[in-house]
């Protein structure tokens, strides 16, 4: 339960500030300059914990899709 709250808070915080993490040189070409994919953010946040990266990536994608849907509705 605590892990889920921690992950959700982290994802919400990252999305609230627009994912300010700098993209590395190996960033996917599909992303805009200065943006980080959920996979890259998960790897930066949890470099040694595969299960936590997977959970973080899942939460990040859900938050991104929800944010994109609210922006498209306006």
Distances 54 to 69, 70, 73 between C-alpha atoms, Å = 23, 25, 29
State pLDDT tens for residues 41-67: 999 999 999 999 999 999 999 999 999
State the pLDDT confidence band at 30, using cuts at 50, 70 and 90: low
Does some domain include residue 46?
A: yes
Task: State the total domains in the chain.
Answer: 1
Does some domain include residue 44?
A: yes
Q: What is the pTM of this model?
A: 0.53
Does some domain include residue 54?
A: yes
Does some domain include residue 41?
A: yes
Enclosing domain of residue 42? 35-62
**8 A C-beta contact, residue 60 and residue 11:** yes
Q: Helices H, strands E: what count in the chain?
A: 3, 0
Beta strand ranges found along 1-74 (DSSP E): none
């Amino acid at each position: 339960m605590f892990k889920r709250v921690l992950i959700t808070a982290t994802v919400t915080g990252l999305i609230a500030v627009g994912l300010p993490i700098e993209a590395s040189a190996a960033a996917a070409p599909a992303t805009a300059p200065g943006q980080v994919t959920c996979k890259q953010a998960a790897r930066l946040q949890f470099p040694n914990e595969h299960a936590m990266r997977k959970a973080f990536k899942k939460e990040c994608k859900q938050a991104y899709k929800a944010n994109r849907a609210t922006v498209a509705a306006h």
